[in-house]
Amino acid sequence: MNKEKSLTQYDIRILLALVKSLHGDKLFFKYLVENNYMELAAWSNSVRGDIDALKWLFSNGYPILGILSNAIDGEKKAVKWVEASKDDFLINFAAACRGNKEAFLWFKEKNLQIFVYMITEIKDILKVQAKDSVFWYRWKW
């Protein structure tokens, strides 16, 4: 049985908590966990680069969120899977997070403000991750 649902099916308040969790706010991460949104808490950490959270998604019935996290990172197999899904939301979300302006406009044109906000936060996270990867002294040995 697939318990996974689309990001579009969550209440706006939960999505706002998710955005704050993506930004690194531990109180909102804790809120997601304590209110039985483990999949969103794990996805939040996965997008932020937590491999254990990514594994949790795949192991606990949330493979689409895991694939979406990988597609956001530009992993080729994940991007191909998202494109093959024919799901306009997933396709545009992953592409917009990677900086595709047309995909970002898709959300603006549909007045999906919460996802415009979420995509903007994720793009910022990706910029920080890219910048941090350049500084060898921050690498874990």
Per residue in 13-28, pLDDT tens?
999 999 999 998 999 9
Residue-wise pLDDT for 23-76, tens only, equals 989 999 999 999 999 999 999 999 999 999 999 999 999 999 999 999 999 999
Q: Establish if 57 belongs to a structural domain.
A: yes
Q: Establish if 5 belongs to a structural domain.
A: no
Q: Establish if 62 belongs to a structural domain.
A: yes
- What does pTM read for this prediction? 0.88
Q: Establish if 139 belongs to a structural domain.
A: no
The yes-or-no verdict on residue 139 having pLDDT over 60 is: no
Q: Name the phi and psi angles at 48, rounded to 5.
A: -80, 5
What is the reported pLDDT for 34? 97
Q: Establish if 29 belongs to a structural domain.
A: yes
> Cβ–Cβ contacts within 10 Å for residue 33, how many?
14
Distance of CA 18 to the CA centre of its chain: 9
Q: Which domain range does residue 74 map to?
A: 10-133
Quote the number of domains for the chain: 1
Q: Establish if 68 belongs to a structural domain.
A: yes
Q: Establish if 69 belongs to a structural domain.
A: yes
Q: Establish if 2 belongs to a structural domain.
A: no
Q: Is 24 exposed, middle or buried (0-12, 13-18, 19+ CB in 10 A)?
A: middle
Q: Do you know the residue count of the chain?
A: 141
